[in-house]
Amino acid sequence: MPDYIVRGTALDGKVRVFAVQSTELVEELRRRQGTYPVVTAALGRTATMGAIMGIMLKGEEKLTIQISGKGPVGQIVVDANAFGDVRGYVTHPDVLGGANELGKLDVRGIVGTDGFLTVIKDLGMREPYRGQVELISGELGEDFAYYFSQSEQTPSAVGVGVLLNREDASVRVAGGFLIQLLPGLEDKEITEIERSVGQIPSVTSILADGTTPEGLLQRVFPDSLRLLEKVPIQFKCRCDRDRLKSVLVSLGEQELRDILVKEGHAEVVCTFCQDEYQFDKEDLQELLNQAVNR
């Protein structure tokens, strides 16, 4: 089944809800980045939440999530937009990691907790919006919930997960949910939401059993769920040859001249998708001319 997000409301509009299946997206990230299992889980959780946060945008708006906890994985970066396009990378994809005290992949151990979760939103204004919170868990679900409550002043419940196949460490299932409490909720309603969310064993166990994102939300709000939209999500990189030409020009006249003299060609690899772009001697001479005339 292709990946998608559902968006809706519950309790007469006093709760905003999202749920996503992101299996194909996370598998594509794993394949392109060559991530080891625990890194796949960390990048997959971030990308899953990035997809949800992207759907919350409008039009040409886009966002970037940066997670830097000073753990061995380095930085996790995810870009997303309102059209369901997501891409991402990690600094060190080949971190082995291990298991935590529950016998699950130790995401906290590779992400770390001495750092920040940063969200940068390009909303078409002169300056981008920038929200940042300290990492409180390193498992990422709790960290995103903390971000929403502190930076966006919206109490939220977050669940994200990635389940891998034992045979080849490919992604068996990935997904998540976001439940946001809006003004007007009574204490008893909040208590009931907390109880229902607490009864969810894990996102991946539910999705692995064949439950859809809609079904996941139905478990929390069996009587008041109102679905508004279903949006496909997918891996999509924005790199192209012209963009990477601009990157080379930005190196400056002297560095381009050195590359032209010493190497005679250049190979540029996109950090997000790992696609390679070749620039021969004639290409470099053209780019050098552009740098000289800037």
117 pLDDT exceeds 90? yes
Q: CATH assignment of 241-292?
A: 3.90.1280.10
pLDDT band, residue 293 (cuts 50/70/90):
confident
**Identical fold between 4-235 and 241-292:** no
142 pLDDT exceeds 90? yes
pLDDT for the residue 129? 93
Instruction: Render pLDDT for 42-83 as a digit per residue (tens, 0 to 9).
Output: 999 999 999 999 999 999 999 999 999 999 999 999 999 999
What type of residue is 44?
G
pLDDT for the residue 253? 87
pLDDT for the residue 104? 82
Q: What mean pLDDT is reported for the chain?
A: 94
Instruction: Render pLDDT for 217-252 as a digit per residue (tens, 0 to 9).
Output: 999 999 999 999 999 999 999 999 998 888 898 988
Q: Does domain 4-235 have CATH number 3.55.30.10?
A: yes
DSSP string computed for the chain: ---EEEEEEETTTTEEEEEEE-HHHHHHHHHHHT--HHHHHHHHHHHHHHHHHHHTS-TT-EEEEEEE-SSTT-EEEEEEETTSEEEEEES-TT----B-TTSSB-HHHHH-SSSEEEEEEE-SSSS-EEEEEE-SSSSSHHHHHHHHHHHS---EEEEEEEEE-TTT--EEEEEEEEEEE-TT--HHHHHHHHHHHHT---HHHHHHTT--HHHHHHHH-TTT-EEEEEEE-EE-----HHHHHHHHHHT-HHHHHHHHHHTS-EEEE-TTT--EEEE-HHHHHHHHHHHHT-
pLDDT band, residue 1 (cuts 50/70/90):
confident
126 pLDDT exceeds 90? no
pLDDT band, residue 264 (cuts 50/70/90):
confident
Instruction: Kindly give, in sequence order, each residue whose CB lies less than 8 Å from that of residue 125, ignoring residues fewer than 6 positions away.
Output: none
As a whole number of angstroms, the distance between CA 172 and CA 168 comes to 10
pLDDT for the residue 201? 86
Q: Where are the domains of the chain?
A: 4-235, 241-292
